[in-house]
Amino acid sequence: MVCTNPKFTYIVSFDTKTNIFTTTNPALGTDIKVKRVQDDNDGVLVWTATAVFGGDRDMLALFGDEKWMKFFYGNGSVQTDLCK
């Protein structure tokens, strides 16, 4: 899926057979770990994490009728990028 935020557009994909999550988002790097996958009538919800200074950043991606990426920050804030 193609996602956008105020600074750039990036691609996100998830292979349900190999459990591999990839993205072209330059802020996330390439070491993304899949923590949990939920596949139901709403689509595929993927909980991932990537290493950042001082720990991990959790992210959620929804691949379904609704498509989005959510980024969770240590200060409690959440950023949602809409996707197509």
Q: Which sequence spans correspond to the domains of the chain? A: 2-83
- Taking only the tens of pLDDT, the chain with its 84 residues reads 999 998 999 999 999 999 999 999 988 877 899 999 999 999 999 999 988 766 788 999 999 999 999 999 888 999 999 999
Contacts 24+ apart (CB under 8 A), 15-22: 16/44, 21/46, 21/48, 21/61
Give the global pTM.
Answer: 0.89
